[in-house]
Amino acid sequence: MWRKDKGFIHALKITTNLANKYSNIDFYVGRKEDWGGGNIHNLQAAYANALSSIKKEKLKNICFIDKFKTQINYWRFLKSVDISFSCSFHETFGISMLEQEAAGIACVVPNIEAYPEIHKGALQSPLSSIQNNLEELIINKAKRNKVSNSCKKNAVNYSIEKFVDNLTSHIKKVL
């Protein structure tokens, strides 16, 4: 779901930049026009501007996808993806990235909020470096495979109980 705190505008800029540079690669942007709550007018305007720019630049390698009809279709789609990223600057858990890790996708996530704790296998970086890290994974297949394996291992070994215990101990220290 697109919301302001998910870094929607930043993600579109990164996708457009990379699609311009790597015309032989398909870039998928998830859940076409799936707007979150709150003031969405700015996001809808940014989306309309992005679509206009994509059409103007004739970027046929950017595909906006609809919500999947079934979970099986979603998992089949994930099996076809090599790299994924998030630009969210506020994340409580990041379940969609964990699903992508489980599918063996090389994930790039911000090194803020809950991402470092939950997504230890992903390539973590400041929001300003996400595009550079994505480009490195596009170019360097060995590194992409290493991150993919690390992501999958993290997802397989992830434990909600350990996360809750860790969170509880942090809260007790603060209180």
User: Mean pLDDT, the chain, as a whole number?
Assistant: 85
The whole-number pLDDT of residue 30 equals: 76
Q: Indicate left, alpha or beta for 43 from its phi (over 0: left) and psi (-120 to 50: alpha).
A: alpha
CB atoms within 10 A of CB 165: 11
101-117, pLDDT tens digit by residue? Answer: 999 999 999 998 778 88
Q: By C-alpha distance, which of 45, 57, 48 is closest to 16?
A: 57
Neighbouring residues of 34: CB distance < 8 A, sequence distance ≥ 6: 1, 2, 67
pLDDT band at 12 (very low <50, low <70, confident <90, very high): confident
Domain boundaries, the chain: 1-67, 70-175
Q: pLDDT grade, residue 162 (50/70/90)? A: confident
Domain 70-175 listed as CATH 3.40.50.620: no
Question: ∠ CA(5), CA(150), CA(65), 5° rounding?
Answer: 45
What is the model's pLDDT at position 39? 59
* Percentage of the residues of the chain whose pLDDT score is greater than 70: 87
Query: How large is the average pLDDT for residues 131-142?
Result: 98
**13-52 confidence digits (pLDDT tens):** 899 999 999 999 999 987 665 555 555 666 677 777 777 7
pLDDT of residue 171: 84
Could you read off the pLDDT of 42-82 as tens digits, one per residue? 667 777 777 777 777 788 899 888 888 899 999 999 999 99
By C-alpha distance, which of 83, 97, 70, 66 is closest to 131? 83
In the chain, the amino acid numbered 130 is I
State the pLDDT at residue 4.
Answer: 60
